[in-house]
Structure 1
Amino acid sequence: MSRLILLFLLSIPVVLRAQNAKVLEGYVFELPSEASLPGANIYWKSNPQSGVVSDINGKFSIPVISLPATLIVSFVGFEPASRQITAKDVENSVRFFLRAEELSLEEIIVRERAPDQNIRGLEMGKSSVPIETIKNIPALFGEVDLLRSLQLLPGVQTAGEGTTGLFVRGGSADQNLVQLDGAPIYNPSHFFGFFSVFNPDALSGVDFYKGNIPANLGGRISSVIDIGLKEGNYQKIKGEGGIGTISSRLTVDGPLFSDKSSFVVSGRRTYADLFLKLSSDENIRNNSLYFYDLSGKFTFKLSDKDKLSVSSYFGRDFLGISEQFGFGWDNWITSITWNRAIRDDFFLDVNGYHSYYKYLVSFEDPDSGFLWDNILEETGLKATWTWLPNQASSLVWGFHSQLYRFAPISLKPEPGSVIEPIATNPRNGLQNNFFVSYARELTDRISLEAGLRANTYNQVGRGVKYIYENDIPAPESQLLDTLSFGAFESMKFFSGLEPRVAFRYLIDPMTSLKASYNRTNQYIQVASNSSAGLPLDRWIPAGFYIPPIIGDQFSLGIFKNLQNNTWELSLEGYYKNFQNIIDLRQGASIIFTDNVETEILAGRGYAYGAEFLLRKNVGKTTGWLSYTYSRTWRVIEGISENLPFNPRFDRPHDIALVANHQFDKRWSAALTFIYTTGQAVTFPIGTYMVDNQRLPLYGPLRNEDRFPDYHRMDASVTWKNRDQGKKWRGSWNLSVYNLYGRKNPFSYQFTEILNEDIRFDPNTGPVTSRRPGVVMTYLFTFLPALTYNFEF
C-alpha cells in the first residue's frame, strides 16, 4: 500500500506540467506600516467564488482569466481594494495596499479567516487563532496567555488548575510540538506551568493542528502548535505594552536601516521578587522568584523575490530560597528563515534553527550541598518547495533534518558534602524526514489531499548500551555487560512511513463533509511521574529498549455555516490508536538513573471522542460554545494488572463557553466558563504502619478514582481611553479569575490528623488522638487583576 501511494505522489508532477497556466503574482501590504498582510482574500470580480489567500509574506499567485478583468483584494477589518488588470500587469508583480477600517474592532477580534474557509477548505481539527482574540479572553493575574486560550477549544484537556499543559485528543503533553518560527520549545511555560513563555504583543498568530496535520509538519503524534513572531513596521517606530498585577511587558518595532528592513524587540518581566524585598522578615527578603523573556525578529527584503528573517527568544525562570536553594530553567531558540519566489507559481522556504533548554537545582550546605543540571538541544534544517500550477491544485515537498543532543544528567556535590556524585551518559539522535503532499479540487464538490512523510531515526554515540539478562531490562534483571559507542557511531536505527489523506465533499455551498487519516511517528518522549509537565521531566529518545511511538488517527466531520457565515457549526469525531507508548512502573524513580529503561514499560493505547463547536463570527456579541466527549485508555503489561486504565488527563465531558461583547468604541466585556469531568487518580484503599507512622496503601489498579468535577467562570471588562488624536493610546482591563470562588482541588494529601488538628505538631505537646485524614489543596478562588495596556 505504501509503495502505491509513493508511486502515485511521484507521478503527480508529470500530470501537473500539462496543466500549468499563466498566473498573476502580487503582494498585499497594510498601511501605513507597509508590513506584509498574510491571509488576505484575492479573487476576480467576475468569479468571486474562486480565489486565493496571501501567504505569510503577503504574496499571492492567482490564475489569469480573460483580460482585462477586475481583481479584488480584501481582508476582514480593512478597506477592500480593486484594480483593473491587463496583459501587461501579468508580466510584473502587482502590489496592493490595504488601510484598516476605523470601526471594525469586533470583526478583527473574531474573523481571522476567509469566508467559508471552514466549509471549502480541507482542514480538519485546525484552528487559526488571532492574537486579538487571545487578548480579549480573561486571564489568570491578567496575564494574557496563548496556551491557556487553546485549552478553550474542543478536544483539548488541561492538566489542572492554573497550568498551561495541553492534552490533545487523548495524547500526553509531550506529544504536542510547540514551535516558534519553526524552532521547537521543550518547556513552553513560566512559573511551573502557570504561564506560557509567549508574549502576545510579539506574536503574529498561531496555527493549531490536532487532526489533519500537513505532511510538512511532524515529530509529535497529537498536535502541532505553530507560532510566529510578527514582522516589524517598515515605515515608523511603534510600540505597545502593559503594566499588570505581577508583570509588565514592552514591544517596540519599526524600520531597521531603511524601508527594506524592520525589527521587533519584546521584553517581559515579573516583579514578584521586588515585593519580597519589602518584607520585614529577613528570610523572605532573601528569597528570589521571577521570570523574564526577551524576543526579537529582524526582517530584510533582499529583493522583490527574496526575504530573510532572523528570530531569537530567550526566557529564564528562577526560584531561590534564602540564598541556599535555587531552582531555575532557561529556554533559548534561534531561527533563520529565507523565503524565495523562484517564479510566479514556485516558492522555496528554508528554515534553520537551534533550540536550547537547561534546568538546574542547587543547594548550598556544607554537609549536603550539590549542583544538579541538565541540557537538551535540538538543531534542525528544513527546506520546503511549493508549486501552485493552477488555482485547483498545489504540490508541496521537502526535507527536515534534526539532530538531538540530550546531555548527561549531572549531580555535583560541593566540597566536603556527603552527597555522592552522579553522572549519566549522553543520548543523541539523528532524524531525517522527507515529505510530499498534493492537494487538488477534483470537481466543484470534491477536493482531495494526499501526502507522505518518510523518516529515519538513528540513535548515535557518544553513548552506551546496557546488556541485561535475557535481554529484558527490569529492576530485578542482572546487568551483564556495557557496550560503549564513539561520537556519531550508529547505535540503533528506525524508519517509518507516515501516509496522510484528507477528503472534502461539498454537500451545498454552506455544508461540507470531511474525512482524514494521519499516521505519525514520534522518536522522543517524556518519562514522568506527573501528567502536568514539569521543568525536570526526563526526555527519552528511542533506542535499544524503547521503540518510537506510532499514532494513527481517523477523523470524520460535518461543517455548516448559517446566516451568511454569521454562525459556524461543526461536529467532528475521531479515533486514535497508539503503539509503543510508555509509562512508569509503580514507584519508579528515573531522575538520576542511567538505566532508565528498567523503570519504563511500553504498551498500547487508544482514544476516541466527538467534538461539537458553535461559533458566532460577526456582530457586537461574538464567541463560541464547545462540548467534547472523549475517552482515552492505556493497556501496558505490568501496570494495573494488565487491564485498560485511564491516564490522569482522561476527562469524558468538557464544556467551554467564550463570549465577547462590544458595547461601543470604548467599552467591551468578555466571559468564559469551563466545566470538565474530574481528572482520573488513584486513591489509597487503606493504611499500614511503619516506624509508628501510618502510611497510605494503594491497590493494584491505576487511576480508578476521580477528583470532583472542575468548573470555573472568568470575566473581564476593558475601557479604552478617549482618543483625542494623540500618539499615545491606552486602555484599562479589569479581569476576575474564578468569578464565583469555586474551590477546585489541586491535590489531595492522605495523612494522619493528630488531636483533631491538621496543623498539630507532636513536638509541642502530647498526642491524645490519631486518625487518618485527607487534606485538599486548592490554588485560586476569587482573584481580580488590573492591567494597563498602551500603544504608541
Structure 2
Amino acid sequence: MKKIFLIILSLLGLTSFAQTGVVKGKIIDKQSEKPISGAVITLIGNDENQTTSDEEGNFKLFGIPLGRQSISISLTGYESTSVSDLDITTGKENLLTIPMMEQFNTLDEIVVTSGSNKARAINKMAIVSTKQFSPEEVTRFSGGRSDVARLVSNFAGVSTGDDSRNDIVVRGNSPSGMLWRIEGMPVPNPNHFATLGTTGGPVSALNPNLLANSDFMTSAFPAEYGNAIAGVFDLGFRKGNPDEYEYMISAGAYPGLEFMAEGPLGKKGGSFVAAARYGFVGILGLAGTTAQPNYSDISFNVAFGKSKLGNFSLFGIYGTSKIDFLGENINKEDPFAAQDEDGFVTSSFGSIGLKHNLDIGSNSSLKTIIGFANSGNTYKNDRYYNYDTPSENKLRFSDIDNSESRITFSTLFNSKLNKKITIRAGLLFENYTLNADLATRDRQQDNDGDGYPDLVQLIRNDGNFNIVQPFAQGQFRLMEKLTFNGGIHAQYFSINEQFVFETRSALSYAVNPKNTISLGYGLHHQSVPVPILFLSENINGDRVQTNKNLDLVKSDHYVLGYDVKLANKWRGKVELYYQQIDKAAVESSPSSYSSLTEGADFGYSIDKTSLISNGKGHNQGVEFTLEKFFSQGFYGLFTTSVFESKYKGSDGIERNSPFNNGYVINLLGGKEFKIGKDQNNVFSIDTKFTTAGGRYYTPVDLAASNLAGYEIRDDANAFSRQYDPYLRWDVKFGIKLNSKNKKRFHQFYIDFQNVTNNTNVFTKQYNRLTNTVNQKDQIGFSPDFGYKFQF
C-alpha cells in the first residue's frame, strides 16, 4: 500500500497542468429523429464558449475545462434542454446524441425548458416506469462490478439481494420475465455462465464501455416491446469517434483485462468501436467459489456512414465461459458444488445484427434490423456413489447440452406528422431453433436393478418455432401540458398457435413546470420458460412433451406516478402499481407449484409435467425516488420500494412468491474533490448502502430427504419461511489523472464491498453426506479494483 501511495503522489506531481477537452455529437428532433441544424450549444458557466449544429445536426465544442461540466442546447421553436454530468478528461472526447422536443406553442411569450436531458426516457413513447441510465454510472457507483444489471438494482422497484448472481427482480416478478434488447434486437441472456431460459448470471458479458445511454423499464412499457411481463432492458451501443483514433487499456477484478479501440472509418462519416475482455476473477479468489472460472467476451459497433441507400451499421457481441468443479478441490462450504461430485460447465453467447436506417421525406424514417443470436450451455456432472468408502463408484449423474439460435427480422416506421402527433408502427419476427437435451439421475427410479437411479432423458428437442409481433403506437400532445401515448401490440406463438392482442396506454399531465402526474396501463403476454415448456414425461413407454400447449402467461399492469422537481438538480418521484397475472402454468392436481416461482437460479424444475394454464398471481407496491443529479461535485440517490408479491398454485392457496422481499432500500452518494496544482485531477469517494427483506423459501423436509437420498422440499408449506434481511455497505475510492501535454488519462479505483462483512444467506439446502440441512452464505467482505488508461 505504501508503494501504491507513492506512485499515485508521483503521478499527481507529473500531471499538474491546465488543459481542456472536447464535446461533440449530433442534435436530433426527438419525434422525427432527424438532425436539427442551427441549434446553439453553450457551455454552462461560460456563455462565450458556444457553437452551432450544422446541416447534419453535428457540432463540436472545444475548450471545455476538465472535470464535471454541463452544456445547454437551445433553438427557436424547440424546448431548451441541457446535458449535465459530463466527465471531461484528456484521454477521450465526449460523443453525444441529444434529442430536442419541438414546442407545442411557439408564441414568443411561452418559454418551455425540459431540464436535464437525463430526466427523460430515450424512447419518446415511454412515459411511466422508465429510468434512463448512463454507462458512466455503471463504473461510478460503488458495488457495481462494472455490471449494468447490478446498476439497475439501485432503481426503485428492482431488487437483487444476491451477491452471486445479477438476476433482475422487477416489482416481485421472476427474472425470467425480463426482455433484453441490444440496438433494438431481442437477445438471449447476455451473461457469462448463463443457462437456457434464464436472464441473469454471475458475470455480465455486456461491456459498459461500449454502451450508450439506455432505457430500463419496469412496467406498462410501450407497444413496441413484447413477450415479457416483468421489465425491459433496452440497450444501445455507442458509435466510435468519427474524427480521431482513441484507445483504452484497463484491468479490473470482475471485468478482467480489456483493450478497446475506436476511430473513423471511410470518408463518409463512418466509425468503429471494438473491445475485448478476459476475466481473471478466479485467480484473485473473488469468485465466491473455490473453483476457478474462465470467461472472455468481445463487442463491436461499426457505422459505415451516410450513403444514398441510407445508413448501415453492424454490431455484435460474443462471450464464452467455463468452470470445472472438481470435488477433491471443493471446500465443503462452497455454495455451488459438493465434495462427492465433479461438474464441468461451459456456456457461450453471441449476437450479431445489421441495422439500416432510411430517411423517408423530411419527417419520417424506416429502421430495419436483420440479426442472428445464439446461446448454448453444457453441464456434465459425475457423482461418486458410496463416497469416501472402499466401494466408491463414479457415474455420470447429469448430462445437459442446450443450444438456442434465433434469426431476427424487425422493421420500425417512425413519422412525425406534426409537432403534436408522432406515429410508430413495425413488426418483429423471430425464428427459434432449439436443440435441448437433458438427461439426469436426479429423482429417478432404479428400474434396471443396478442399484443406482436410472439416467433418464427428460428433454430431447430438436425443433423450431416462430414468434411474430406486429405493433402500432402513437404519441399525441393533446395540450401543452397533456400528452397521451397509446398503442396496440399483437403476438403469435407458433407452438400453441395462440394469437393475442394487447393494448398499451400512458398519460402525462404537467400540472406546472415542477410537477407532473402520469398514468399508465399495459396488457402483456409471455411464453412459459422454454425449459418448462419442453419437459417430457413417460407415457406408456414413450417420452411425451406434455407442456407444449400451455397458454401464454397474461399480465395486466396499472401505474400511477407523480414526479416533482424539488430544486435545481433535485428530483423526487413516487409510483404506485398493481399487476394482475393469469394463465401461469400449474400442476393439474392440487399443489403449491407455479411457473411464476421459476427463474432465479441456474436451472428449472425437472419434474413438472402435464401442467395447465390456471395459475394466478399479483404484485403491488409503492416506490419512492429522491435523486440529486451530479452537480457541485456530488450526487445522491435514495430509492425505496415497499411491495407484496403473491401467487396461487392449483391448490388455490395464496402464498408468498420467492421474490416477495417486502421492502428494498438503497442509499447512494459520492463526492469528487479537485486535486493537483491546477485542480485538473480528481479524488472521489462513493458509497452505497442496501438493505432488503429476505426472500421466502420452502423448507427442506428432512425426514423425506433422508429416506429418498436427495433433497425434498416441504411443498405443502411452500415459501412459508423467510431468510434474514439482506444488508450490505460498500465504499469506493478513486483517482482520475489527466496528462500534462498529451492525450492521456489514468483512472484507478478500489471498491471495498460489504465492508461490515455481513454474511447474507445464500441458501439452506440438504446435505446428502451428513443427512442434515446446511446454511450456505454469500460472499463476505470482498475488495474490487480497477485501472483504466485512455490515450
TM-score class, shorter: 0.7 to 0.9
Matched, 1:779 2:788: no
Matched, 1:580 2:576: no
Residue 72 of structure 1: which of 40, 46, 49 is its match? 40
Cα 1:498/1:77, change in 2 over 3 Å: farther
Aligned residues of 1:376 and 1:407 also touching (Cα < 8 A): yes
Whether 1:244 and 2:280 are equivalent positions in the alignment is no
Equivalent of residue 481 in structure 2, options 437, 445, 470:
445
User: Does 1:747 pair with 2:763?
Assistant: yes
1:558-597 map, 5 Å: 558-564=562-568, 566-582=569-585, 597=609
2:32–2:365 Cα contact (<8 Å) kept: no
The answer for the alignment partner of 1:720 in structure 2 is 736
The one of 412, 416, 426 aligned to 2:462: 426
Aligned-residue Cα RMSD (Å) equals: 3.9
Counterpart check, 1:702 vs 2:718: yes
In 2 relative to 1, CA 132–542 (structure 1 residues): closer, same or farther, beyond 3 Å? farther
Q: CA deviation at 1:685?
A: 7.0
Superimposed CA distance per residue, residues 212-244 of structure 1 (whole angstroms, 9 cap, x where no aligned partner): 412112221111101122211222221223212
Equivalent residue number for residue 236 of structure 2: 228
Give runs of aligned pairs for residues 56-455 of structure 1, distance below 5 A. 59-60=34-35, 71-73=39-41, 81=50, 83=52, 95-99=58-62, 101-105=64-68, 110=85, 115=115, 118=119, 123-139=127-143, 143-158=145-160, 160-190=162-192, 193-245=201-253, 247-258=256-267, 260-272=269-281, 289-303=293-307, 306-321=310-325, 325-362=343-380, 368-369=395-396, 372-409=400-437, 424-455=460-491
- C-alpha distance in 1, partners of 2:464/2:766? 41
Give the structure 2 partner of residue 552 of structure 1.
556
* Alpha-carbon separation, structure 2, partners of 1:542 and 1:622: 54
> How far apart are 1:632 and its partner, in Å?
1.1
Q: Which residue of 1 aligns with 2:788?
A: 789
> 1:591-625 CA deviation, whole Å, 9 max, x = no partner?
89999632677401111111100001133211210
| Contact kept in structure 2, 1:61 and 1:345, CA below 8 Å | no
With 313-322 and 183-192 compared, the bigger mean Cα shift is at 183-192
Question: Which stretch of the first structure deviates more once superposed, 392-401 or 257-266?
Answer: 257-266
| Cα separation, 2, equivalents of 1:434 and 1:162 | 38
Tell me, in whole angstroms, the C-alpha distance in 2 between the residues paired with 1:235 and 1:349: 25
Query: How far apart are the structure 1 equivalents of 2:715 and 2:407?
Result: 44
For residues 507 and 628 of structure 1, the distance between their equivalents in structure 2, rounded to whole angstroms, comes to 25
1:180 Cα offset (Å): 1.8
Are 2:621 and 1:604 equivalent residues in the alignment? no
Residue 55 of structure 1: how far off its partner (Å): 8.2
Q: 326-335 vs 516-525, which deviates more?
A: 516-525
Cα deviation, residue 420, structure 1: 6.6
Instruction: State the AA in 2 paired with 1:101.
Output: I
SS at 2:115 equivalent: coil
Partners of 2:520 and 2:635 lie apart in 1 by 29
Does the CA-based 8 Å contact 1:542-1:548 persist in structure 2?
Answer: no
- Cα drift, residue 636 of structure 1: 1.9
Distance of aligned partners of 1:144 and 1:54 in 2 relative to their CA distance in 1, 3 Å threshold: farther
Instruction: Give TM-score scaled by structure 1 length.
Output: 0.75
| AA partner of residue 494 (structure 1) | Q
Is 1:657 equivalent to 2:657 in the alignment? Answer: no
TM-aligned CA distance change 1:522 to 1:322, over 3 Å: closer
Aligned partners of 1:191, 1:493: CA distance in 2, in Å?
Answer: 32
Q: 1:601-655, CA deviations, whole angstroms, 9 ceiling, x for partnerless residues?
A: 74011111111000011332112101111111111214xxx21112211111111
Q: Is the 8 A contact 2:586 2:593 kept in 1?
A: no
Tell me which residue corresponds to 2:9: none
Cα drift, residue 494 of structure 1: 0.9
SS of 1:139 mapped into structure 2 = coil
Secondary structure of the residue aligned to 1:434 is strand
Identify the range of structure 1 (311-320 vs 778-787) with the bigger mean alpha-carbon deviation: 778-787
Counterpart of 2:623, as a letter, is E
Shift of 1:687: 3.9
- How many pairs were matched up? 659
734-743 vs 93-102, which moves further: 93-102
CA distance in 2, matches of 1:405, 1:292: 25
Q: Which residue of 1 aligns with 2:636?
A: 623
Q: Is the 8 A contact 2:253 2:281 kept in 1?
A: no
**Aligned letter for 2:249?**
G
CA distance in 1, matches of 2:605, 2:726: 36
User: Does structure 2 conserve the Cα–Cα contact (< 8 Å) formed by 1:131 and 1:203?
Assistant: yes
Are the counterparts in 1 of residues 699 and 718 from structure 2 also a CA contact under 8 Å?
no
Q: 1:649 and 1:275, CA in 2 relative to 1: closer, same or farther beyond 3 A?
A: closer
Task: Give the number of the structure with larger relative contact order, counting CA–CA contacts within 8 Å between residues 6 or more apart.
Answer: 2
Amino acid at match of 1:135: T
Range that drifts further, 301-310 or 495-504: 301-310
Between stretches 672-681 and 372-381, larger displacement belongs to 372-381
Q: Distance in 1 between matches of 2:592 and 2:274?
A: 47
Return the offset for 1:145: 0.9
Cα–Cα, structure 1 residues 150 and 593, in superposed 2: closer, same or farther, change >3 Å?
closer
Preserved CA contact (<8 Å) 1:109 1:130: no
Distance 1:77 1:790 in 2: 29
CA distance, structure 1, for counterparts of residue 518 and residue 604 of structure 2: 48
Q: Which residue does the alignment assign to 2:3?
A: none
Secondary structure, counterpart of 2:378 in structure 1:
strand
SS in 2 for 1:147: helix
The answer to whether the 8 Å contact 1:119/1:561 transfers is no
Q: Do 1:61 and 1:344's aligned partners in 2 also have CA atoms closer than 8 Å?
A: no
- For the pair 1:508 / 2:522, whether they are aligned, the reply is no
Q: Which runs of 5+ in 1 are unaligned?
A: 1-29, 43-51, 63-69, 277-283, 460-491, 530-539, 753-760, 763-771
Q: CA deviation at 1:364?
A: 7.9
Asked if 1 retains the 8 angstrom alpha-carbon contact of 2:505 and 2:521, the reply is yes
Structure 1: distance between partners of 2:84 and 2:774? 43
Contact 1:713–1:739 (CA under 8 A) maintained in structure 2: yes
Identical positions, percent = 18
Tell me the equivalent position of 2:332: none
Q: Which amino acid aligns with 2:576?
A: G
- 2:334 counterpart residue number: none
Report the secondary structure of 2:150's partner residue: helix
| Amino acid across the alignment from 1:445 | K
Q: How far apart in 2 are the matches of 1:343 and 1:694?
A: 66
Pairwise CA distance, 1:715: 1.2
- Structure 2 residue ranges without an equivalent (≥5): 1-19, 71-82, 87-95, 99-113, 195-200, 328-341, 384-392, 442-451, 534-543, 675-680
| SS in structure 1 at match of 2:632 | coil
1:544–1:718 distance in 2 versus 1, CA, 3 Å: closer
Contact 2:586–2:594 (8 Å) recurs in 1: no
> Are the aligned partners of 2:253 and 2:284 in contact in 1 as well (CA < 8 Å)?
no
CA distance change for structure 1 residues 438 and 275 in 2, over 3 Å: closer, same or farther?
closer
One-letter identity of the residue aligned with 1:598: S
